[in-house]
Structure 1
Amino acid sequence: MDLATIQRVLDCELSVAEVAAAHADALDVQIRMLQLRRSVLRVVARRGSSPEETTLMHRLMQLSGEERRRLIDDFVDGTFGIVDADPTAVAVVHAAAPDLPDDPTSEQVAAWVELAELVGDEDFRARMRRTVVRQAAGSPLDIKRDAGEELMEFTRQKVAEGRKLGIAPLSDKSAPVINDLVHRFAEVLARTPDTEFRDWMAQQFEEAHDPRVDRDWRLVWIVNGWQVVPNLISVYPWLIQALRNDRAA
């Protein structure tokens, strides 16, 4: 204790317990800051970050928990703060807001930095809003609704099998898989399995898969320490690439 504090204790203005509690609180703040700095340094050491990226990480780490939360709230309000915003969609995003812990891992720090840059992009905000509003409304894409769950499940299995065998979407080995799927979709949808139909399929699946929106959710999972939920992120890109490659060929 400093002499002024000791004098206040002797004058019965403060108790030793109160002083100890205040010192403990102060140490908690210092410990959290040191933990954050340690995590940032580990990220820099692992990634060989540029001076600009290191500066950004340092700036973000100085934000308090409340300020970090406000950054995400601003993103949500800026993305959905309009008259026709779907309350369900807004609730979904708020419920999944990232919350960096006081002692984050280097992976969580890196995810938070990337996420902070992402939510500041206006184009991403527009894409995020379209995706979440559609999902919250439970509105499936036309191709998924019209094709039916049986064909969609078959598609997921075929693509998963191809990926497991190491078949690249742009390789010749993907052609039989894509040809089979195109003909199955064309039959169910009463369409002609020509180049135009392949292009339409690719566009439909591109609407379902926005890499940056998928990346946003993954970053949130990492920051919050949640288990990554199995999803179709690995299915759609392969299918789109294979369709585009086949169409170009």
Structure 2
Amino acid sequence: MSDETELFTIGELARRTGLPVRTIRFWSDRGVLVPAGRSAGGYRLYDQAAVARLDLVRTLRELGLGLDTVGQVLRGRATVRDVAETHLRAVEAEIRTLQVRRAVLRRVVRQGSTTKEMRLMQELARMTAEERQRILDDYVRETFEGAGAEGPGAPIARAMRTLPANLPNDPTPEQEEAWVELVELLGDEDFRRRTREMAVAGARAAGGPPVLDPQRVGEHAAPAVRDGVSPRSPEGAVILGRIVDRDMPSADRLRLADTLETFTDRRVERYWQLLGVLNGHPPVPSQVPAMEWTIAALRAHV
């Protein structure tokens, strides 16, 4: 008998393919593997094509396809490409969900969490991308409503609307952690209050105080922070004179300090840093300590 007409029992198929007998029998019972005939004793017999068929079934099953889908492919009701495309989308969605869960778990392991925080992060991990995006959109709308499209708070509102609802493709561990921290930050009530305060202050600003050059702050105040120079010391007064006009009236200094304090917040800066991590931007050194030093110096030397 030639190989083309040779028939095999389930046991012989198992030896040829390396698959368990019970698996082949189960697939046959489900109609995925159709016998070519039966022996005199009533046992199912399979032809050579069944060997190739089993290889395809095993491959599709290892890729995660259900037996019903595999059956559609084998019966010609769907092409392998169509099924692969559909399954690829499902796998990618599952990967994104697992990435979120991994990020949440890493955050819990790294810094520990209260029961409430863990529950919130668990809810976050279960959310779909659309649900997360809707929460973010609602937050931005509520926080910045009526704050003015051109005020200093407007860029924060525009940027917050670009917060990714999903992690980047193939994210780094840093991006995973940044994503979780960023969404947590937007859920912080105090952070929401501060961003709202910035937006409203920007919308109402009129005849503001003298403009401060951020480059001078970085050039002079940052080294003062690094070297431990007190903003209230005589040396601090000298450094402040390199940042603002030495003849600036006291009222203007205090008004400038108040304005800078309104728009200076470590959590808001952290938001920008985290967004940069998600977008793959190089890290930017913190500017808040130098700005806080300048605010204290403005108030100390009036």
Could you tell me the TM-score, scaled by structure 2's length? Answer: 0.60
Matches of 2:253 and 2:70, distance apart in 1: 81
Q: 1:85 aligns with which of 140, 143, 148?
A: 148
Matches of 1:56 and 1:197, distance apart in 2: 45
Contact 1:107–1:222 (Cα < 8 Å) also in 2:
no
Specify which structure has the bigger relative contact order, considering alpha-carbon pairs within 8 angstroms and separated by 6 or more residues: 1
- Which residue is equivalent to 1:101? 167
More helix by share: 1
* Deviation for aligned residue 1:239: 2.3
Matches of 1:205 and 1:142, distance apart in 2: 10
Matches of 2:224 and 2:84, distance apart in 1: 63
Percent identity over paired residues: 30
Contact 1:98–1:220 (Cα < 8 Å) also in 2:
yes
- Which residue is equivalent to 2:247? 188
Are 1:4 and 2:68 matched, yes or no? yes
Q: Which amino acid aligns with 2:185?
A: L
Contact 1:214–1:233 (Cα < 8 Å) also in 2:
yes
Q: 1:70 aligns with which of 90, 109, 134?
A: 134
* Post-superposition CA distance 1:15-69 (Å, at most 9, x none): 2332233333222222222222222211111111222212212211222223222
- Which residue is equivalent to 2:220? 158
Are 1:51 and 2:109 matched, yes or no? no
Contact 1:119–1:125 (Cα < 8 Å) also in 2:
no
Q: 1:20/1:223 Cα in 2 relative to 1: closer, same or farther (>3 Å)?
A: closer
Matches of 1:121 and 1:92, distance apart in 2: 12
Q: 1:237 aligns with which of 292, 297, 301?
A: 292
* Deviation for aligned residue 1:142: 0.8
1:33-52 map, 5 Å: 33-52=97-116
Q: 1:50/1:175 Cα in 2 relative to 1: closer, same or farther (>3 Å)?
A: same
Q: Which amino acid aligns with 1:188?
A: D
Larger Rg: 2
Unaligned 5+ segments in structure 2 are 1-64
Contact 1:155–1:181 (Cα < 8 Å) also in 2:
no
- Which residue is equivalent to 1:116? 186
- Which residue is equivalent to 1:227? 282
Matches of 1:60 and 1:177, distance apart in 2: 49
Matches of 2:215 and 2:102, distance apart in 1: 45
- Which residue is equivalent to 1:178? 236
Q: 1:224/1:62 Cα in 2 relative to 1: closer, same or farther (>3 Å)?
A: farther
Contact 2:209–2:252 (Cα < 8 Å) also in 1:
no
Q: 1:10/1:124 Cα in 2 relative to 1: closer, same or farther (>3 Å)?
A: same
Are 1:205 and 2:260 matched, yes or no? yes
* Post-superposition CA distance 1:215-234 (Å, at most 9, x none): 33233323433334467423
Contact 1:9–1:16 (Cα < 8 Å) also in 2:
yes
